[in-house]
Copies of this chain bind each other. A is one copy, B any other.
């Protein structure tokens, strides 16, 4: 298979974005479908990405005072039903366990679609006094939602995620936590995944089932559609009333706790692919790339091969002290094929080492994002690689920012036609909204776009709703979404 053939096996990103996505996920060996409806196998290369993401998020959770714990996979139906909106939102997509061994269970058990119910029930036992608060706990686990239409990473019946669940003494503290964790997600997504996002508040239509307020960060994919890249929910006292999370306050009065939850899932691997990829395949930001650099040796056999192979192995050992570096010493493939394969698989930096390089004590560095090629001396190479990886990380974020800016437009006043046209051109659209659910739904029916969120950073000024012309107090973000 020549390298042309390798690349020819992927659909064009420009022309068939959706097929390109599927092709790349498969070809790059990130994940594949199992024979169970909607359940994927996350392959080692995809899982390594998730491990890097987990590590960087987990550090941030711990630095903000959270501890990890583990709660049961199964939730009794009656418990899930305690919070009315919650069960209404999730029951239709629950997988139900009805038998344990040979016996039928007295009550059906839901495989957790999310864990508010089982955790709320547990917290009701833990929380007695104001001294027990705040409770700041996170859980890394699998969850299940029985989706009909599925796509690898983006919509799977089982997925991996983390879910933070906290209880606070006051409404203010809980709201502060909700916003803090959205900030943690924004910091992580922008600085590690190199994806710019818009933080804001969801409309009532788009709230999490049972939440008083849901906040999200919204990212723009390569096709101009939005993807919700992390959410944080303020529950007020809804769940503490449903699950009886009460405490004796400083003044001896019994009070209900104020709770929050926030989550981030393997769905984001899909986003990472869609934001940074190009016609040749994936591009991973160095901070989370499973392999930050690949060393490809160049030889024509014989002594030359032995020397280059040895030098390349030594270089790999040396660079591995600071980076995730792979050495591709396979003999059955030509360098050109390897170049294409690792480009496809998104390795941010290629290090070529041939006999002439070796003779002059250097290597050739090739950036995945820009294809820029440059020689670099073997002496002190680690520092050069470090600097270059940082530059690639920064440039990917800058490029994504530019793309988002270039594909965001503003529509002023009551001009639904303009909004529709812009959405048709796959833009993010700033437009005014009066705050009524009916207008939001009417716009969705006509354009297939939803209000992604009401950005924290928006111009607060009087305007006219793009649908009904009633007064609005500022623009919101409309887009089609995944």
Contact = CB atoms under 8 A, between A and B. Distances in A.
A182 interface: no
Interface stretch (A72-80, A217-225, A230-238, A396-404): A72-80
Contacts of A51: 68
Contact of A118 (B34, B74, B76): B34
A69 B42 contact: yes
Main secondary structure of the interface of A (DSSP, over half): mixed
A67 B39 contact: no
A137 B73 contact: no
Contacts of A144: 73
Given A42-B69, A44-B67, A97-B96, A75 B146 contact: no
A344 to B, nearest CB: 18
A327 B75 CA distance: 36
Interface string A137-149: 1000110101000
A100 B34 contact: no
Given A35-B121, A74-B158, A79-B35, A97 B69 contact: no
Contacts of A71: 34, 41
A97 B111 contact: yes
A63 to B, nearest CB: 12
Contact of A142 (B32, B48, B137, B141): B141
Interface string A23-53: 0000000001011110111111011101100
A48 B34 contact: no
Contacts of A109: 36, 95
A76 B35 contact: yes
B41 A69 contact: yes
Contact of A95 (B48, B94, B97, B141): B97
A99 interface: yes
B102 A95 contact: no
A229 to B, nearest CB: 21
Contacts of A101: 92-95, 146
Nearest to A108: B99
13 contacts: A34-B71, A34-B72, A35-B76, A36-B76, A37-B100, A41-B69, A44-B67, A44-B137, A50-B70, A73-B144, A96-B99, A100-B157, A141-B142
Given A95-B109, A100-B146, 16 more contacts: A32-B125, A34-B118, A34-B121, A34-B122, A35-B79, A35-B121, A36-B109, A39-B74, A50-B70, A72-B158, A74-B95, A95-B97, A96-B98, A98-B99, A100-B157, A142-B142
